[in-house]
Amino acid sequence: MSISTAPVVLSSTDAGVLTLTLNRPEVLNGLTDDVLDAITDGCRQAASDDGIRVVVISGAGRGFCSGQDLRAGLESGDVDIRGHLRDHYVPMVRAMRDLEKPVIASVNGVAAGAGMSVALAADFRIAAESATFIQAFVRIGLVPDAGSSYFLPRLVGTAKALELAMLGETVDSAEALRLGLVHRVVPDADLGQATADFAARLTRAPRSAGLIKQLISHSLDSDLDEQLRREEEAQVLASESEDFAAGINGFITKRPPVFTGR
């Protein structure tokens, strides 16, 4: 038995970016309760800290995340799956989606099962060329969870989502880009810098960026009237922000506005 004292998720903050690095490289960052709860806590911390403007999730070693750690008790057959999902997976997905700040998945390697779900629950996915995506659930007789069955059809359409989830085949980064699963694919060696550049750009976004995240998130679940109401509410909030005042002033004075996220 090996006992590790290293944190299962490394957390660091720099220039407004909170980076959460899944840190179980020996199992391609398989998800345990501690890992799931640390992602949840990180997103909640970002929600309450004005200094954090963007969250980045990445993986240590050659994998992004291999999904549920299959050696963390599942094999005993004596697991309360419903409770496990409700107590650990659902809060993580909600924390990522409810956060009114962008979350970037910097996908450095394989994203399998719920590891792919983590990537899909993010707002942006930047993938290394060697990254792969696998709806691995079906390979072990499970169904997509942690939001995969929600996010996947919205990103690639129901026909392709069904194929990916039912066949569980490996999707490489070029195909992921073609399908619209990821926003960018970069050479492996450039992933860190490309993610940092993308995140830095988002740290300069106005308060309305978080409201835009919520509007687009709800869009496909709303009818037109409901979405028009949501736009109205969000626009009122945006128009009351300091960043809107800065934006208007910037337009009039012909100087680029400096947004603070307030």
| Residues making contact with ligand T3D (CB under 6 A) | 27-28, 30, 66-71, 74, 81, 84-85, 110, 112-114, 134, 136-137, 139-140, 142, 145
Bridge partners of 112? 134
Nearest-angstrom CA–CA distance, 130 and 117: 18
Question: Least CB distance from residue 218 to ligand T3D, whole Å?
Answer: 26
- The CA-atom distances, in angstroms, between 142 and each of 135, 138, 199 are 10, 5, 34
* CB nearer to ligand T3D: pick between 28 and 185: 28
Question: Least CB distance from residue 90 to ligand T3D, whole Å?
Answer: 10
Question: Least CB distance from residue 70 to ligand T3D, whole Å?
Answer: 4
* CB nearer to ligand T3D: pick between 129 and 231: 129
* CB nearer to ligand T3D: pick between 109 and 206: 109
Amino acid present at 230: R
Question: Least CB distance from residue 148 to ligand T3D, whole Å?
Answer: 9
Question: Least CB distance from residue 82 to ligand T3D, whole Å?
Answer: 8
| Whether 205 contacts 53, CB under 8 Å | yes
Rounded to the nearest 10 degrees, the angle between the axes of helix 224-239 and helix 242-253 is 70
Question: Least CB distance from residue 173 to ligand T3D, whole Å?
Answer: 15
* CB nearer to ligand T3D: pick between 28 and 209: 28
* CB nearer to ligand T3D: pick between 94 and 204: 94
Amino acid present at 241: S
* CB nearer to ligand T3D: pick between 24 and 53: 24
Rounded to the nearest 10 degrees, the angle between the axes of helix 148-156 and helix 158-167 is 130
Burial class (CB in 10 A: 0-12, 13-18, 19+), 196: middle
| Whether 119 contacts 92, CB under 8 Å | no
Other C-beta atoms closer than 10 Å to the C-beta of 44 total: 14
